Amino acid sequence: MNLPQAVAKALPSVLHSSSPVDQVAYARDLWPRHHIHVRDGKLPDTRPGVIVWPTNTDDVSAIVRFCAAEGVPLVPYGAGSGVCGGVLPNPQTVILDLKKMARWRTLDRSTPFLDVEAGALGIRLEEDLQHQGFTLGHFPSSILCSTPGGWVAARSAGQCSGRYGKIEDMVASLECVTGTGEVVTFQRRASGVDLTPLIIGSEGVLSVITAMRLRLHTAPAARAYGSLSFPTLEAGWEAMRAMFQAGLRPAVARLYDPFDSMMARRGAARAEHAAHHASPAPHPKKRGGAGGGGAFALRNILRAPGALNGLLDLMGSRAFGGAMLVLIFEGAAGEVNDDLAHAEALGRGYGGSPSGEGPAKHWLAHRYSVSYRQAPMFMSGAFVDTMEVAAPWSKLGALYENVRAALGKHVFVMAHLSHAYPDGCSIYFTFAGGGNTAAAQSTAYDAAWRNALDAAIASGGTLSHHHGVGRSKAPALGAELGLGVDVVHALRRAFDPSGVLNPGNLLPREGSAPRTTATAPSEPTLDRTSLLVNAAGTSTLRTIENAVQREGLTLGLQNGADLDMTVAAWIAAGLPGARDGWLDPADHTVAGFGARLGTGAPLAVHPGPRRAVGPDLFALFAGARERVGVITSAWLRVHRHVPVHAQPRTTLPRPLATSLDRSPAVSSVEAAWIDRALNAARNVSDRA
């Protein structure tokens, strides 16, 4: 089949192109592994057959139906800023570029919310919202070159997640076109079945996201800036843990390891010096070029990354001035100053020394610069990438040490911690490597990633916190989700029976995943460090509450909760009495679970803070009345017990109120798709 001609005939009103320039431009995303070959002048081996630009949802529906009928792969495309190989078409692939679908459909000022199409450019969206007096609160470093559809598809996190949560905390509903071409709107619900968590993070394999309703916030009236220096990285993250578990919600909390802290301090000092001593730009001949002596030195240094990492370890934290924590609070003027003072007081208890607002203001002024620092490294002959993993607080030390050691055999490593929550935190590793040839660099790159992902899983962490899976991490996904991979395959067959939506992305080969299980404890087991309790599905909430109260903790259930319900029945009923997630987007109620599907097959999702490894499978059980299976165990968030006379703000976060409908009605179309999804998951069997 001549694909461009077939598209032109079947979809005459849809703009399309098969020009060589467009085919090269849409051949891949920003996966850094590609950059190694781009630098060497190698064009993509495979390119799409045609690119189409729909202007409305009906166009998308028609394109999907055409591809399903012809068996043609279809890849949804936002702005191409993904870094995990989510776009890798072949000559028989249609690329569906959604950027011409960027309209605001509704701005509701009273609730508030925004109905917006998936292809809006992120930075323009946020700037326009702020001109209207609102903010989405979502600031990924890729905001200059990413879209809301991409954010939702990859389960994105923004730099202000400590206050506003991740993108899944901002979605009230999703308009989607499934693999059959049918248009369906999925609604977020406080109770009852909610399939939005399945679409969020599905990376284009379940449906095409065409529009969404996003929760908005009034633009913050004030910010408070602060920073603290800690003698060690461990002391810094203990202080972060104390802050979030005390109910503080800094919009930004970024803790840099000692070497990265030194680099950050130097950057802030240079900026301050430049602001006070303006001077002419250096003559071009005096600047370091990609092929100069600096590049030669860098390539030589990176030939022995293990030795370089070892040298930094020998020098120790103090040689670099310790670890630096940057804090920014947003909100009402009086509140942000009080919260910063509270955070600094907690930080002092862990050896922290306040170092002023300069580092935080410098970070904010350069918050998006990181996305543009890769090109000079690649041009110098090296390669660079980032890896964001996460774990409960109790496993964070092992995650940091083991992943850093695994990477450090192959590349030079720095790290910072960001996206913290009461139960855990993300670690963001930045690494650079070298080699004499593109082949040697690719080998080192692949080995670094393979070993680091293995180390993350072995340490009790998750493979991704906010970049998603794509093709780069798909081979390791089974080690984290086990039978969950087959569940996602089953969901894909239900949503996309022709198998045309981004085939090869996200999922490893079906049936290839190892089988992991979650052991149900005989008694509730407390992880005090992470403020999590593991309990059997047959345990009553009263049994768990009594057990944690002996430790000065509580489940924090609200009035109306039936403490005589079992955990399994409580989850099946939609977690009645649980804290409303809209009020504190940085928190959640269930961090991990074990279940038995309708076929008897075991499913286990171990605790992890806000993972981004595909659909959130807990959505198949919360409020589903055991239509998919039975919860056998769960990791639940516990809270410090607050005496009646104490001020709530000492342990509870300031609520982010909303008047969004918490229990929207289920349409007949949505109900049909809920039935398909639940039945597909229920019938997954354990073939191992």
- Which pLDDT belongs to residue 302? 77
How far is Cα 567 from Cα 244, in angstroms, rounded to an integer?
26
How far is Cα 422 from Cα 588, in angstroms, rounded to an integer?
9
Residue with tokens 């055991």: 626
CATH of 222-270+294-458 among 3.40.50.2300, 3.40.462.40, 3.30.420.610, 3.30.2270.10:
3.40.462.40
Residue with tokens 């390791």: 476
The fold adopted by the segment(s) 525-657 is 3.30.465
Domain 3-97, CATH: 3.30.43.10
- Which pLDDT belongs to residue 285? 38
Output the 3-class SS for 556-625: CCCCCCCCCCEHHHHHHCCCCCCCCCCCCCCCCCEEEEEEEECCCCEEEECCCCCCCCCCCHHHHCCCCC
Q: What is the mean pLDDT of each run of 10 residues along the chain (688 residues)?
A: 96 97 96 90 91 98 98 97 96 98 98 98 98 98 96 98 98 98 97 96 98 98 97 97 97 91 62 51 40 55 76 69 93 94 98 95 89 75 94 98 96 95 97 91 96 97 97 96 96 98 91 73 97 98 97 92 97 95 95 97 95 98 98 97 53 85 95 98 86
Domain 222-270+294-458 and domain 525-657 have a common topology: no
- Which pLDDT belongs to residue 515? 67
How far is Cα 408 from Cα 448, in angstroms, rounded to an integer?
8
- Which pLDDT belongs to residue 288? 40
Per-residue pLDDT reduced to its tens digit, 112-170: 999 999 999 999 999 999 999 999 999 999 999 999 999 999 999 999 999 999 999 99
Give me the residue spans of the domains in the chain: 3-97, 104-180+209-218, 222-270+294-458, 525-657
- Which pLDDT belongs to residue 294? 52
- Which pLDDT belongs to residue 651? 47
Among candidate residues 85, 121, 95, the one with its CA nearest the CA of residue 203 = 85
- Which pLDDT belongs to residue 511? 65
Phi, psi at 535, each rounded to 5°? -140, 150
H or E element at residue 447: helix 438-458
- Which pLDDT belongs to residue 39? 87
How far is Cα 188 from Cα 664, in angstroms, rounded to an integer?
8
- Which pLDDT belongs to residue 314? 73
Residues 6+ apart with CB under 8 A from 561: 541, 570, 576, 577, 578
Per-residue pLDDT reduced to its tens digit, 463-507: 999 999 999 999 999 999 999 999 999 999 999 999 999 999 999
Scanning 277-304, the segments in alpha helix (DSSP H) are 293-301
DSSP tag of 253 = E
Beta-strand pair 94-97/74-77: parallel
With beta carbons less than 8 A apart as the criterion, state whether 404 and 308 touch: no
Identity of the amino acid at 161: S
Given its phi and psi angles, is residue 495 left (phi above 0), alpha (psi -120 to 50 degrees) or beta? alpha
Per-residue pLDDT reduced to its tens digit, 191-232: 899 999 999 999 999 999 999 999 999 999 999 999 999 999
Domain 104-180+209-218 is found in CATH 2.60.120.380: no
- Which pLDDT belongs to residue 15? 98
- Which pLDDT belongs to residue 386? 95
Report pTM.
0.94
Distances (CA, A) of 228 to 70, 237, 255, 355, 371: 59, 12, 9, 5, 25
Output the 3-class SS for 106-161: EEECCCCEEEEECCCCHHHHHHHHHHCCEECCCCCCCHHHCCHHHHHHHCCCCCCH
- Which pLDDT belongs to residue 260? 75
